[in-house]
Structure formats: structure tokens, C-alpha cells
Structure 1
Amino acid sequence: PYWTDEFVGAGPFKLREYARGSHALFEAFPDYVLGPPRVDEIEVRFIPDASTLTANLLAGSVDMTLGLSVAPDQAAQVRDEWREGSVVTSPYHGSTVATFPQQVDTALPLTRNLTFRRAMLHAIDRQEMVDTVMFGQSSIAHTIVPPLMQGYDEIQGSIVRYEFDPRKAAQLLEELGYRKGPSGIYEDAAGQKLAFEHWVIQEEQERVRAMFAVTDYWTRIGMEVTPFVVPPQQGRDREYVAQFPAFMVRGVSGMYASLRQYFHSAEAPLPENGFGGNNRGRYMNPELDGLLDRFFQTIPPGERAQVLGQVVHHETDQAVWMGLFNAVYSTIISNRVKDVTPGSNRAKAYNAHLWDMQ
């Protein structure tokens, strides 16, 4: 029954009452090893509806948020309307949001063409996405290694950046033999329209919004793009998700340990491994595999940084994936609450014994 209806721990608070889906009530544990908590009681409310959460914050019935419950648009609303508290935005686990081109059994063979992938990146105004989708709270994800990671400064020079340049995108498409037809949509020499689907799983709001934003950029330049939001149940079907037809927006961790799982051939979800890998776009390249193997086998920091630079250069130069923006989370804290220190991950209550109320 533990960690379902009953709980065991050695933290600063004891669980006094738990109502599944409603709330949990904690009382101070005076014998906590780091000292007795400053507040006597904490009530944690489970509020899944975004509008209800925002209303509670603005009404003053909730003093702070925990976890990833606040979407960027909600955080911006509270920041602009709430004078009784503050919004603190922090990087989320070095996570990024990206769209992946399908490399295996693709319905759009162009996704395997480097010139096409580069054109698609030049067509996306990622700074505008940071400003609108993330309400200015994030930054462009030029590489899977986010700026907060140790060693980022050493590999910056290896990153190939794709600035927003619709003219460059159009030029690259024309180099591939595409011309705009009577409808304004690009067509090949046989008159076949450049048409495809763009997927996202119905989960975090910013990923869905990112998919629609990118779809809009590609549509503006002259492609027939059909957006598709995968229902949550289908989104849990590994085989179904692995075989998305052309492009798919996903969230990825930028931790170094994740480099192999997202880009190594051995991690590509295929029938022979039960579609169990995390190589989202199923990109398989022996050169990149070798670099990744070397990175995880290298110990001296200088050599390791050099290999990491080569990995980053490959994944950006070859447009293996299309990074959009670095993910963030927001903590909303009432002015009444003191000594709360937002962290850089989900666990933000590590110093709850130091929290105080004014």
C-alpha cells in the first residue's frame, strides 16, 4: 500500500490527511534532522484545470505552485495581473521541444534529403515562437545540448545555426526542383504537391502550440501541411507513434546521457526491437554512432569536450532534428511566502523546512 494510500518518509512534514484527486494535508515534524519546520501545516491541492488554478492564484486561495502545473500562457497572465506575488521561470531539466523528420518508411521521402531539412529550418521563425508560444520565457534550441549544461560554452563554436530566412528556404526548395503551382503550393516536375502531415501527441500545451506554429510557417512558405494532434491513448502506442508519416513535435531531455538514446542507430524504434527505442526520427548514421560511442567511452575532459563538439556539429549540420525552443517551468509564489527557492527540476520542496509565512 505504500506510496499509494500510505506513505513512509523522513522529511520535515508528516502526512496527516490524503484525499485522492483533492488534497493532501501535512503537519510539521519537529524532530526533522535539519531542524523543525518554520510553518506548522502545508496543504497541497490537486488542481488539474489550468483556468481553475489561475483563478485560485489570483483570488489568493493558493499561495504557490509546485511541479509543472503552470503553462507559459498562465504564468504570463498571472505575472501581468497579480500584484500579490511573483513568477519565477527556470530551465526544465535541460529539456527542449523539437520537431523530428521521419527517416524510416516515411510518407515524404524528402525528409531524408539534407537540403530539404535545411529549408524547413530556415522557414521557421523560432524567435517569434519563443515570444509567442513561450511568452518570451525561453530561448531558441539551436542544439540538443541546452545552454545550462556544463560544457556548453566549449561547444558553441561547433553549432550550425539556421536563422529565419524564408527566401533561403524558397531557394533551397527550388534547388530541389520545386516550383509553386497555380494554387500557391510547391509542386515537383510531375505536378505533385508538396503535402504532408505534422503530428504532436496531445500532452503539454506548449508542444501542441509549437506544432501549430511550425505548421503555419511551413504553410505560409507554400507547403500543404496537415496538422494532427494524436489522442493520448494512441500516443502511448509505441509502434503507432514511431511510424509518424513525416514530421512530429516531441519533447526531449538535453542531458548528456540522453544523446545516445535520441541519436544512436541502436535506439531507433523498429519492428525488431518492439519499437522500444527513443531515437525519435529514427535517424541512423554510422559516423554519428561512432562519435557517440567515443563520447561515452572518453574520460579526459578535454578529449570529451572535443568529441561532444563533433557530435553537436553533426546533429546540427545534418539537421538530424529541428530544435524549436528550450523548455521552462514557472513557479508562482505569493509575497506572503518566504524563503522558497525554485530549483531546476520537478523537486522544488527540498527546503520546505525553511519556508515561512508573513
Structure 2
Amino acid sequence: MRKIIVIALCALLCGTSAFALSKDQLTVGISQEFDYFHPHILNMVAGRYIQEMCIRALMTLDTKGKWQTMMIKEIPSIENGLAEFVEEDGVKKIKAQYELKDNLKWGDGQPITNEDVKFSWEVGMHANVPVPERDIWNRIERIEIDPANPLKFTCYSPMRWDFNQLSRFYVIAKHLEEPVFKQHIETAGSYEKNSLYITDLTNPGLYQGPYRISEAVPGSHVTLVPNEYFWGDAPYFQRIIFKIIPDTGTLEANLLSGTIDMICRLGLTLDQALAIEKRFKEQNQAYTVLFQPGIIYEHIDLQLSNPILQDKRVRKALVYAIDRDALTQAMFEGKQPKSIHLFAPIDPWYTEDPNKIVLYEYSPRKARQLLDEAGWTTGNDGYRYKDGEKLSLQLMTTAGNKTREMVEAWLQEEWKKVGIEITIKNEPARVYFSETVRKSQFPAMAMYAWTSAPETNPRSLLHSSSIPTEANNYAGNNPPRWVNPEVDKLIDEVDMTFEHAKRVELTSKILYYYTEEVPVIPLYSRADSAVIPNNLVGYEISPHQCNETNWVEYWRLQE
């Protein structure tokens, strides 16, 4: 550690980086832990970030928000004639024809065919596979493969406007994975423990992206090497290492010491990035700090099975009691605006019209009034009580994340002002996300970030069928356990509405119920940041759910 500090000090005094970056290796600092690398199962953002360098989807969004093909030749649509409306047994559907690109291969040289595509869909659809977002697979009713052409397949989809937006349709290796799938899938919880993407992670045949995983050590690092059979442009860097550094406060020292070459957007908190940008400019360091507003929003899930939180008046009081504008100004210099619901301002479905949704201005007076109405009276100690029970709620988040811990402390003081006691219990990210949040095991409040991609149906977040339970193997992202039949109906209707204006009308109604019933407390929208060497080109932070790692083969050093 002393050596790192000395080297870092030297770099500070010299005014430029003391370490030369070459195409032989790029070491990326990342603060978040990974969970799985099975693209259907993984739940943590870090795992997805790395996985997209190794396993590609049929298509993706580029960093400008435009749809691009990855493994297919063309995205079918009604307009280009590759998709059409059909009727089967009196039910209207969409028939879409796809064709894989020529010469696609797995990392062991085996060809990628329509059989892999169909198998990938079958895995994603199985009830015993704990996929966090079943919606992407439900967009397809069945897949028919062309027996005469191994590259062609036809998808039959329910009538939904986004039938051809398949950015999370990742293709997995049937020739390796199918035997394991068949052996373990009938026992709930068995497949995800025995998948080759877990037990044989370094098998080259599991990957079809520009890189493949050669080593993965939980809590330490993940090493990627080029996939010699990748069909696209050969990647520039001969090795990429993701070094996991949970303590975000030490990322800068690791950068200046040469332990890492860059910090990806899953590294620094915004306040750290702002401070580093200021220091690096003053010191003329050979790095650039990038900022990109995104669609990730920090929020608090409310456990609706908690007797206290079952009272909507208490939930509303929690929102009125916090000054989110003051929070974002004090902690983020206003760079991360407050969130009022789950859609980001860049989303065409976003609205802040008070005639359509419920807005919560900062009002401790309204918070106290609601708590009074709910029967919670103030005791001599300043906290509220009801039938001898103290109004006390536990707030949880990821341990070691300094920004979240500061936000927790700030919220604790705000809620104390209206008589609510907040106790704090934080957990390592790996446990928190894979167990506590995924299985909805938090007793009251869980703070973390989630993504709301533009024009994405919030089914996986808000529909009652997305409540994670033991019966569905904890698939779904509705940990608050919110149930609203009208919202379920609206969500279903959005899928079948092809007219944009009508979809906006429907989603505004969903937002009304969301803001009126408060299953979640939105806090603020996050801005992503990264620190890269000045001579690294081709790297651009993605503003949406499709990571910039989808374009890693274009990262290179400026000669």
C-alpha cells in the first residue's frame, strides 16, 4: 500500500501519468461485484457490463440510441416486409423473419445456427430459470427454424408494438449447454447452479463475442482474451482485465499508481468524479473524465408486506418529508436531478404534468398531517408511536458505497424531523442483490438503482406477475410486491398499442397509479462517469440499457 501511495504522489508531482498504456493489456477498475455470467440469469449490472463483451444479442442500441444489428442481417419490421400481421385460430399475431449473419461461430469453432437461437429462447421461457426480466422472452410465442437454411428462423409474436426490439435476446451455446439444461431444469434452483456458464466459465465454446473469459475470481478480477472466431472486427487489446475495487475511494490511487488504466462507469460515484476532474485539470494529468446523463434512477423500494408500510398515508408522508432538490444540490452539485417517477426525462413516455400524475413537493407539514391521520402520535422522545409500537423502519443498501451511505444518513435526519426512526443495515452487494433484493427479503426499505430504458414497458417492475416468489424461482423485479389490477391491465394494453400517442396516454395512467400509491420512493436520476486515458479512442458512455461494452472491439489507442 505504501508503494502505491508513493507512486501516486510521484504521478501527481510529475503532472502526467507515469505509466504507458499498450495494446497488450487494458486494466479496467470497477467497484461492483459480478454474480453470474449466464446472460439469462445474471442480475447485477457489473455482470452484464462484462458479459456483453463476450456474449452478444441479436441486436442492440448504439450509444446514440439507434437500433443496430449484431448477429442478424436485418431487423424485421412491417415497413421492410420482413414482418407481417397474421391470424391463427382467430388470434392476431405478428410473424417476423430473421436471418443470422454468415460465418458466425462459437469460441470453439462450432457454427452458430438457428438451433442456438431457438434453444436460447426455450431456456429464457422455462419457469425454472430465474430470469430477472421474463418480458423479453414473452415477446415471442414460438420460433420455427428453417430446415433448409441453418441461418433462417421465424418468430411468431403476440400483437405488441415492440415485437422486434430484442436487445436482451442473448444467444447461448446449445451444443454445450443443452445436456446440462435437460439434466437439471426440472428441479427448481438446480440449473443455475450447474450451468456451464457457472461451472465451466472459461470454456471458449460458451462465447461468441469479441472476447471470452479466461479467468474469473470473485471479489478480485475477471480476465478476458480475444475470441479468435469472432465474426466482426478483431479487438484491439490482447487482454482486458476488470479489477474489482469495492472501495470507490481508492480507485483514483489505483489509477495513478498504474494498477488500473481506466475507471469504467461502474466505478466512481459522481462526487468522486467531479473532484477528480477538478484535480486532474489542475495537475495536467493525462486522463479525461467523462460524464453522461443516463436512465438509471436511484430509488427506495418499500416492502408492502410490512404492516406499517401497508398504510398509503405513511408511504406518502415518507416522500413529502424529504427535500430531494436540496439532496441533489448538496451532494451532486445539481448534476443528478431528482426523480419523480421511474421514467427518465429523455423517455418519450415521461411526464411531469400535475394533471396526470401526483407530484410531491417538499412539505414536512403535509408529512406530519398524514402521519397524524394514520394514528401515529409524537412521543416525548420526538418519535411517533401507535398502539405502543414505535414508528421505526429499517433502511438497507450496498455496504461500502459512500454516496449511498451519505444519502442514507441524510434521509435518516430528514425523516427524524417528522418523527420516523430509521435504522440502517447494509450488506455486501453480492448478498444484497442476489438474496435480499432478488428474494424481497428486506423488512422495510431497500435503496438501490434500477434502469428504465426509453419506451420500455414497465411490466418487469410493476406487474403483479413480476413479484419474486419461491413459486416462480424469484424471477421478476417487483420486490415491493405491489399489486394493482388496473396497472396490470394497462401494462398489458401498452404491448398491443401500435399508435404512439395512445401508448403515451396509457403510460401516463400507469404513472398516476405509481405516484398515487407510492410503492417506490424515487430519489434522483444518476449521471454516469468514467475516467479514461487521453489516448483511448472509441470509448463512449452509453446513455441507456445497452452498455458501451457492446462496442469494445472499437476501443483502441490513438497512434
With the shorter chain as reference, the TM-score category is: 0.7 to 0.9
1:73 corresponding residue in structure 2: 271
Shift of 1:342: 2.6
Shift of 1:251: 2.5
2:495 corresponding residue in structure 1: 296
2:5 corresponding residue in structure 1: none
Please give the secondary structure, in 1, of the residue aligned with 2:273: helix
Query: For residues 450 and 367 of structure 2, what CA distance do their matches in structure 1 show?
Result: 26
2:296 corresponding residue in structure 1: 95
Query: For residues 266 and 351 of structure 1, what CA distance do their matches in structure 2 show?
Result: 36
Query: For residues 408 and 440 of structure 2, what CA distance do their matches in structure 1 show?
Result: 17
Shift of 1:278: 1.9
Query: For residues 203 and 144 of structure 1, what CA distance do their matches in structure 2 show?
Result: 25
Q: Call closer, same or farther: CA 1:10–1:271 in 2, change over 3 Å.
A: closer
1:123 corresponds to 2:321: yes
Please give the secondary structure, in 1, of the residue aligned with 2:512: helix
Shift of 1:258: 5.4
Counterpart mapping for 1:113-262 below 5 A: 113-134=311-332, 136-152=334-350, 158-188=356-386, 190-202=387-399, 206-231=403-428, 232-233=430-431, 235-237=433-435, 241-255=439-453, 256-257=455-456, 259-262=458-461
Pick 1 or 2: higher relative contact order, CA cutoff 8 A, min separation 6. 1
- CA RMSD after TM alignment: 3.7
Q: Which amino acid in structure 1 is aligned with residue 501 of structure 2? A: G
Q: Call closer, same or farther: CA 1:164–1:58 in 2, change over 3 Å.
A: farther
Please give the secondary structure, in 2, of the residue aligned with 1:273: coil
2:507 corresponding residue in structure 1: 308
Contact 2:439–2:474 (CA under 8 A) maintained in structure 1: no
Bigger shift: residues 336-345 or 139-148: 336-345
Query: For residues 235 and 352 of structure 1, what CA distance do their matches in structure 2 show?
Result: 30
Q: Which amino acid in structure 2 is aligned with residue 249 of structure 1? A: M
Query: For residues 335 and 549 of structure 2, what CA distance do their matches in structure 1 show?
Result: 19
Q: TM-score, normalised by structure 2?
A: 0.54
Please give the secondary structure, in 1, of the residue aligned with 2:426: strand
Shift of 1:91: 3.5
Unaligned residue ranges in structure 1 (runs of 5+): none
2:113 corresponding residue in structure 1: none
Shift of 1:144: 0.6
1:267 corresponding residue in structure 2: 466
> How many equivalent residue pairs?
347
Contact 1:338–1:355 (CA under 8 A) maintained in structure 2: yes
Contact 2:394–2:425 (CA under 8 A) maintained in structure 1: yes
Query: For residues 275 and 263 of structure 1, what CA distance do their matches in structure 2 show?
Result: 15
1:326 corresponding residue in structure 2: 525
Contact 1:24–1:45 (CA under 8 A) maintained in structure 2: yes
Q: Which amino acid in structure 1 is aligned with residue 486 of structure 2? A: E
Q: Call closer, same or farther: CA 1:61–1:277 in 2, change over 3 Å.
A: closer
Query: For residues 19 and 191 of structure 1, what CA distance do their matches in structure 2 show?
Result: 52
Contact 2:300–2:447 (CA under 8 A) maintained in structure 1: yes
Shift of 1:340: 3.8
Q: Call closer, same or farther: CA 1:185–1:249 in 2, change over 3 Å.
A: same
Query: For residues 234 and 316 of structure 1, what CA distance do their matches in structure 2 show?
Result: 26
Query: For residues 232 and 389 of structure 2, what CA distance do their matches in structure 1 show?
Result: 70
Q: Call closer, same or farther: CA 1:244–1:64 in 2, change over 3 Å.
A: closer
Q: Based on CA coordinates, which of the two structures has the bigger radius of gyration? A: 2
Q: Which amino acid in structure 1 is aligned with residue 292 of structure 2? A: S
Query: For residues 449 and 209 of structure 2, what CA distance do their matches in structure 1 show?
Result: 34
Identity %: 23
Contact 2:437–2:479 (CA under 8 A) maintained in structure 1: no
Q: TM-score, normalised by structure 1?
A: 0.80
Q: Call closer, same or farther: CA 1:228–1:24 in 2, change over 3 Å.
A: closer
Contact 2:439–2:469 (CA under 8 A) maintained in structure 1: no
Q: Deviations over 1:8-51 (max 9, x none)?
A: 6675xx89x98975686879x9x9966x98xx757644332234
Query: For residues 475 and 550 of structure 2, what CA distance do their matches in structure 1 show?
Result: 33
